[in-house]
Each structure stands twice: as structure tokens, then as C-alpha cells.
Chains A and B, each alone.
Chain A
Amino acid sequence: MRITQGAFSFLPDLTDEQIVKQIEYGLANGWAISVEYTDDPHPRNTYWEMFGIPMFDIRDAAGVMSEVNACRKTFPNHYIKVNAFDSARGRESVRLSFIINRPAEEPGYALVRQEGPGRTIHYTTRAYATERPEGARY
């Protein structure tokens, strides 16, 4: 099951050329680009691992792409996303975030039911991938 988080996730995977254009758009707006990865696809897993620190002083997408490619090389079977952080006063948050790398196979989620008091049922989801320990999931 293909996970859909961040921008463009209902579209086919972006090509490198399209990624470069998105990064250029972010840089043109003065946003700081960062690269993050994870192997826990749960939708509430908001804070992924940072791959290097956010790039605050980069002027061109080629610099970001070298970081993106280094991350892909290190974690070929992880989820990788590119974030663009807007430091403008009053905004100070991520303006754009999109997935640029995902595992070849995404097994999806199981529905977990929990019996509560008074025959109530609590539902939650659990990714099949997280049955194995971190680092050995995909």
C-alpha cells in the first residue's frame, strides 16, 4: 500500500528533474531545505531522522541534490522526504514537504482492535513493516 504523506504523494514518483524544480522553487522563496528519512511509515510519525542539518546557506539545487543522492545511497530502502522550512517571522514552519524515495515494497497497515470496558472497541493501525526492529524493516 503506497503511503501518501506530504505534497505530490498521490502523483507518480517525482523524477530528479521535477525534484530539482521543486527545490529551486523553495530556494527562490528563501526557504531552508532539509532531508529526512525514516523506516516507520505510520502517519503520526511526524519527526523523521534528519540526514545532515538543514541547509540554510545553499543557493542552488545542485547542492541540495548532492545531499539527496547521498541519503538515497545510504538508505535506498527507506522513506526519504525533502522539507522546505520558512524562517520568516510569524511563519517559522515547514512550507513544503514531499517524499522523494520509498521502499520497493510497502506492505501497508493492519487494523488493530482493542477491547475496552463496556464492550467498546478502540481501533488503531499498525504498519506491518514495524513488526521488525528499526533498520531491518524493508
Chain B
Amino acid sequence: MNAVDAQPRSAAGEEGALDLEAAYRDSHVGEVLERLDRELIGLAPVKGRIRDIAALLLIDKLRHAVGLSAGAPALHMSFTGNPGTGKTTVAVRMAEILHRLGYVRKGHLVAVTRDDLVGQYIGHTAPKTREVLKRAMGGVLFIDEAYYLYRPENERDYGQEAIEILLQVMENQRDDLVVILAGYKDRMETFFRSNPGMSSRIAHHIDFPDYTPGELLAIAHLMLEQMQYRLSPEADAALREYIERRRAQPHFANARSIRNALDRSRLRQASRLFERRGGAIDRQALETLEAADIRASRVFLQPPGGEGPP
């Protein structure tokens, strides 16, 4: 290592640059990040953090190669954000990225909720939690709505036991699995306040911002493309207006609401085509959503900002 120190800085830097390029190519992490950019709209802070983590792991690999200490960083994460902001989708990608970078060995995702971890009677919780942890070894354990694990109003709740086992494994078997907790922001904050041990063992608290109307529209276009539908120009304007109105209403779940709206539009398009049976239907009619399909939504019945579900 002394020999490396003695070398002029520029030479060492150039050598490192070559290695980094090769390591980047070999890991194929570039493709994953690119896909992340392409298929996930918005979410700038999330993508930034994923890039940082990818860079750190890549640099650690190089450090390890030249004999510098490269202690595996703790990568447990918490994803907080409103419904439909893509927490689960990112978790799946995260498993893939960490696998490409060689941080987890298998790269599968085990998604669980409270029911899978916490038992119903004394002595039931520990084996249940261990079973799930065993299944997640070598991959990513995704605990959705993690705040349900802790129920302060019931002191005999078995959730605490599950949390303790989780903490122990998160600390001692850091190389074997990555735990991602996800949930709504305010409730996760309460959860972390009452479980400081959990909060301090999680290195990355990532907040998922709400989508802007423009991003939601882009998401809608992406979804339609995947479903092989098109919007007529009028329908596009209608959808834009729909998003504006829907956002102002309660129970708005970001991308999930958009998906539901599109699914309902498809239903209306289908019955519209069905009404007109007898005439010839061409390919274009089959794949085009008209403005009427969107404007029939109950969202348009209420004045903007009104109460009530869609």
C-alpha cells in the first residue's frame, strides 16, 4: 500500500479511472439505472440516492481490489411516501441493482406485511419471523406498511417481538440480506420515534415525493403504451383536466389512481364500442381512448376541489 501512496497522484487516478470504467461495464448496473430512468418518471431524490448507493458499492469493489478496507456498508432502507408513489416498484429494482453490484447474492425480493411476521399467540411470532428471514436471505426483505408492526396501544402485542428479531438479524447478518421498510411518511415517523433502535440501524431514509401533474400525465402515457392503447388529442386534454381535478380530491393515490382511472376508461371504451356493434370496427378504434371515455368519470361531475370519491 505504501508503494501506491508513493506514486504520483495523477498516475494513480488514471489507473483508477480505467478500472472504474471496466467495473461499471462488468456490473451492467448502467443498464439497470438507465431502465430506472426510462420507466420511472420523476422521483429525482430517489434516483439520486440509488445512483449514490450504486457508486459507493462500485467504488468499494475497487477499494477491495487494491487492498483498501471496504467494510460492507449497511444498506437497510426506509421508503416513505404517499400511496402510489412507486415504493414497491423501486424496491424490486433495488433488489436487482444490489444483485448486479454483488451486494446481495441472489437478488430476489420477499415482500411481507405484518401478517407474515407476527403470530397470533405466544411463541408463534419468533418462528414465523425467522421463517420469513430465512426465505429472504441472499435478497431483499420488503416490509410494507411497517408501522403496523408496532402497536403502542396494546402492550401485549407480539409485534415488538418481531421487531427485536428483525433488529438482531439486521445488525448481525448485514451481508446476508437487506431490509427495506416502507410506509406513509407521518406514520413511519411515529414508528421510528417509538423504535429508535430501528431508526438508527437504517442508513438510508428515502422520501418519495408526490408526482406533479406533468409527471402523472407522463406516467399515464407510459401505462397506455404498455397496455397498447392510444389517446385521441381531445382525450389527452381530458386526461390532463382529469388529473388536475382528481388531485384536489381526497384519497388521491398518485400513480395508482391514474392506473385505476385508465382501467375504468378502458371499460367505458369497451362498452362504447359494444353499443355500436353491427358496424365495422378497425384497429384504430380498438386502440384509441376518446375524450368521452374519460369525461364520463364522476370526477367531472363535481366542481373542482369538491368532496367525495371518484
Contacts and interface: CB of A to CB of B under 8 A. Distances in A.
B139 interface: yes
A58 B177 CA distance: 13
A22 to B, nearest CB: 16
Interface residues of A, number: 11
A50 interface: no
A59 B135 contact: yes
Contacts of B173: 62
A60 interface: yes
B137 interface: yes
From A58, A61, A63, A66, name the one whose CB has the most chain B CB atoms within 10 angstroms: A63
A31 B240 CA distance: 52
Contacts of B134: 55, 58, 63-64, 66-67
A57 interface: yes
A57 B176 contact: no
Contacts of B266: none
Nearest to B108: A59
**Interface size bucket, B side?**
10 to 19
A57 B177 CA distance: 16
A119 B137 CA distance: 62
Interface in B57-95: none
B130 A59 contact: no
A46 B105 CA distance: 34
Interface in A50-93: 55, 57-64, 66-67
Given A60-B139, A62-B176, A64-B134, 17 more contacts: A57-B135, A58-B134, A58-B137, A59-B106, A59-B138, A60-B105, A60-B106, A60-B138, A61-B137, A61-B138, A62-B105, A62-B137, A62-B138, A62-B177, A63-B138, A66-B130, A66-B133
Contacts of B138: 59-63
A60 B133 CA distance: 11
Contacts of B137: 58-63, 66
Nearest to B138: A60
Instruction: Return the 6 tightest CB-CB contacts between A and B, nearest first.
Output: A60-B138, A63-B134, A63-B137, A62-B137, A62-B176, A60-B137
Contacts of A55: 134
A64 to B, nearest CB: 8
Interface string B131-175: 001111111000000000000000000000000000000000100
Contacts of B106: 59-60
Contacts of A61: 137-138
Interface string B87-127: 00000000000000000011010000000000000000000
A34 B134 CA distance: 13
A87 B163 CA distance: 35
A59 B173 CA distance: 16
Contacts of B105: 60, 62
A82 to B, nearest CB: 15
Contacts of A63: 133-138
A85 B173 CA distance: 27
A89 to B, nearest CB: 25
Contacts of A59: 106, 108, 135, 137-139
